[in-house]
Amino acid sequence: MSVNKRIVITGAAGFIASCLVSKLNELGYGEQLILVDDFSVKAKEANFAAKKFGLKIHRDDFFEYLDKNASEISFVFHIGARTDTTLQNVDIFDSLNLNYSKEVWKLCSKHRIPMIYASSAATYGAGEHGYQDNNEEISLLKPLNPYGQSKQDFDVWALAESESPPFWAGFKFFNVYGPNEYHKGRMASVIFHAFNQIKASGTMKLFRSHRADFTDGGQSRDFVYVKDLIDVLIYFYENQQHSGIYNLGSGKARSFLDLVKGVFHAMQTEANIGFIDTPEDIRETYQYFTEADLSNLRKAGYSKEFTELESGIEDYVKNYLVDSVYC
């Protein structure tokens, strides 16, 4: 890859984007990187403290910068978003997710800058239309919360736009886990919470099922290791051929029981698992099953296998969580 032109990463202080910055650093990018975010959040400082980059820009100043300096920019990774699935304030999501993303798209279209952006598996809602990333049917999806709806609204808007960047790809991130999510609180992965609960008490409490067709702990998600996700983003950066919206998961649903047993095993602790009621504020919007259909990703040429859940947990726990290490 050429390392001469500047690359923008929005959400750069956050979980996924900070891991992307690390990977780009490994690939030889340093001064070429422009990090965009609200850098005032103390809990996120460690995510970018040791990174190599050329410039930090507050997200509120980014549009003006991009418009004035577009000739220097070779690519935009638009990863930044408000990701709280429990938040019900539609105005916040309209501002930070939908409208902000529209402006990034418009500027990339105007200045002919290729871009990748983060969508979400939350767009699939209860899964009544399946989990196939068929771009012709995306408008049929029914998200269960305002966060998912904001991602859905942008996907639909982008597909309908007559003006687009020269290359673009939106990725529906499934349940991502891995280093640099220390700041995410309630929104951190179940692996992160399991590690801390087990460390503190030797036990882990999972949500009880409130549906007859799922056993307690049998709720299943497509868990994808952040390192695999970053590899996909880099592949599409290097191979800017097939624009569209893609699923980005492991392609294999696994139960929360499997996940927590994996954490106990990685911590070399005997499994001790209990159940609590799913909180009322998320019970009606809780996804019981997700699984990414990766057919389109494979058709686009991405052939690398995804990390098995137990192997990803082992790496995450032993090499990051035990000593609070950042990527």
11 in any annotated domain:
yes
43 in any annotated domain:
yes
Identified catalytic residue from 52, 102, 142, 184? 184
Identified catalytic residue from 147, 225, 237, 246? 147
d(CA 119, CA 154): 8
Ramachandran category for residue 172: left, alpha or beta (phi over 0 → left; psi -120 to 50 → alpha): beta
The rounded mean pLDDT for the chain is 95
Sort strands 273-276 and 204-207 into parallel, antiparallel or unpaired: parallel
Q: 231: helix, coil or strand?
A: helix
d(CA 60, CA 217): 42
Q: Is the pLDDT of residue 190 over 50?
A: yes
Position 217 scores a pLDDT of 96
269 in any annotated domain:
no
Confidence label for 297 from pLDDT (cuts 50, 70 and 90): very high
d(CA 52, CA 35): 10
106 in any annotated domain:
yes
Mean pLDDT along residues 201-210: 96
Of residues 246 and 89, more confidence is placed in 246
The tens digit of pLDDT for each residue in 84-105 reads 887 888 888 988 899 999 999 9
pTM of the model: 0.95
Position 196 scores a pLDDT of 98
Alpha helices (H) along the chain? 15-26, 45-48, 62-69, 90-93, 100-110, 146-160, 190-201, 226-238, 256-266, 280-283, 295-299, 309-316
Position 284 scores a pLDDT of 86
Domain residue limits at 87 = 6-175+223-250+291-306
Mean pLDDT along residues 260-268: 98
302 in any annotated domain:
yes
Mean pLDDT along residues 263-285: 94
The tens digit of pLDDT for each residue in 126-173 reads 999 999 999 999 999 999 999 999 999 999 999 999 999 999 999 999
325 in any annotated domain:
no
Confidence label for 2 from pLDDT (cuts 50, 70 and 90): very low
Here the CATH number for the domain that contains residue 32 is 3.40.50.720
Confidence label for 4 from pLDDT (cuts 50, 70 and 90): low
312 in any annotated domain:
no
Give how many domains the chain has, as a whole number. Answer: 1
Active site residue 184: yes
116 in any annotated domain:
yes
Distances (CA, A) of 34 to 59, 65, 223: 11, 11, 29
The tens digit of pLDDT for each residue in 8-24 reads 999 999 999 999 999 99
Query: Distance of alpha carbon 153 from its chain centroid, rounded?
Result: 17
Q: Is the pLDDT of residue 1 over 80?
A: no
Q: Is the pLDDT of residue 3 over 70?
A: no
Determine what percent of the chain is predicted with pLDDT higher than 70. Answer: 99
Q: Which two tokens stand for residue 155?
A: 């996907």
Distances (CA, A) of 101 to 38, 55, 144, 158: 16, 21, 21, 9
Of residues 311 and 89, more confidence is placed in 311
Instruction: Give the closest residue to 147 by CA, choosing from 246, 81, 197.
Output: 81
The tens digit of pLDDT for each residue in 223-244 reads 999 999 999 999 999 999 999 9
End-to-end CA distance of the chain: 22
Active site residue 147: yes
Confidence label for 281 from pLDDT (cuts 50, 70 and 90): confident
d(CA 277, CA 209): 8
Position 199 scores a pLDDT of 97
**Cβ-contact 176, 16 below 8 angstroms:** yes
Instruction: Give the closest residue to 113 by CA, choosing from 5, 28, 253, 4.
Output: 5
